[in-house]
Amino acid sequence: MSARAVVGIMVLALAAGCSETPDEVFPGYAEGEYLRVAAPFAGALTTLSVKRGDQVAAGKPLFALESENERAAREQAVAQLARTQSTLDDLLKGKRPPELAAARAQLAQAEASLAQSRADLARDETLVARGFISRQQLDRTRAAYERDRATVAQLAAQLDVARLAGREDQIAAARHDVDAARNALAQADWRLGQKSQHAPEAGLVADTLFVAGEWVPAGSPVVSILPPANIKLRFFVPETRIGALKTGQPVTVRCDGCAGPIPANVSFIAPQAEYTPPVIYSRENRAKLVFLVEAKPKPADAVKLHPGQPVEVTLGQLVDARR
């Protein structure tokens, strides 16, 4: 071999070593995980506030079902709470002022009678000692005094009781009634609130499944929302390459119509192999065993992708062979 030929071969080898190796590219597609918003109770659809293709913010009203029964139940719960609270308040504050005034008047009258009986007894004791009246008369006077004294004690005790609140067991039962009524009102509020649903997250309204006036069974989705964070990429990696992958690993995604490459990170690696799915197989790879891998782009980049859109996923970077 001539010297010129040897030099030519060395130049070609050097050029090949300085060239960049091709990335590993795997076919895949975008997929969305939809939020299907439903009410837990059945009812006729009265309001549909969104339409397919709308962009909604989190908390925006989506739809409402008829709620006459729930509103009536809430009004009943409000009235029941008011009644039980009034009963508790009445037990805590004791008798009403007019009743207390009447009790005081009865006690004052009894005290006046007692004062008169006390004076009569003192007088009769003096008269008996002097022999002007019989001892039987003194006994009657003493009995009247004792009766009036007992009446005063009884009325004073009744006035003290009237000033008190209800018995402890009655107050405790009334408090339980108030708590039960308050819980019933909270439940009525929740049931009424469930008849109107709002967007749990911002996203695209992918579909509406009922029209106004239709009967919606309990738990049936009415609106389907696709948040950007719920868009992911699915691609398939041969078993010979799956060992080099790990969750969190960065990948690059390209698609027709995308302005540029989209970064993403591996979020899931299937534990079992499968044959290349029909959605992406070709004549060359349809019998190969592959592993499903999922990656998630950032929400700002995910809006550039659409569920079902074909993509190409690059696992590696272009590497200069001289490095």
The reply to whether 116 and 218 lie within a common domain is no
The alpha carbon dihedral of 260, 265, 267, 268 has a sign of: positive
Three-class secondary structure of residue 28 per DSSP:
strand
The reply to whether 209 and 135 lie within a common domain is no
The reply to whether 280 and 201 lie within a common domain is no
pLDDT at res. 321: 35
Q: Flag whether 11 is in a domain.
A: no
**First and final C-alpha spacing in the chain:** 32
pLDDT at res. 165: 57
- Alpha carbon 57 to its chain's center: 19
Domain finish residue from 134, 169, 188: 188
Residues 239-277: tens digit of each pLDDT? 888 888 899 999 999 998 888 899 999 999 999 888 766
pLDDT exceeds 70 at position 285 = no
Q: Flag whether 10 is in a domain.
A: no
Q: Flag whether 141 is in a domain.
A: yes
Q: What is the CATH number of the domain that holds 107?
A: 1.10.287.470
pLDDT exceeds 90 at position 169 = no
Q: What is the CATH number of the domain that holds 296?
A: 2.40.30.170
Please give the structure tokens belonging to residue 211. 């029209």
Structural domain span for residue 27: 19-33+228-314
- H-run or E-run covering 293: strand 289-297
Choose among 148, 125, 147, 149: nearest CA to 137.
125
Using DSSP bridges, classify how beta strands 262-275 and 250-254 pair: parallel, antiparallel or unpaired: antiparallel
pLDDT at res. 227: 96
How many Å apart are CA 314 and CA 21, to the nearest integer?
13
Q: What is the pTM of this model?
A: 0.65
pLDDT at res. 51: 96
Q: What is the CATH number of the domain that holds 207?
A: 2.40.50.100
pLDDT exceeds 70 at position 11 = no
**Comparing 175-179, 184-188, 319-323, which segment has the lowest mean pLDDT?**
319-323
How many Å apart are CA 233 and CA 309, to the nearest integer?
9
The reply to whether 42 and 124 lie within a common domain is no
Domain finish residue from 210, 226, 242: 226
Please give the structure tokens belonging to residue 284. 């060359």
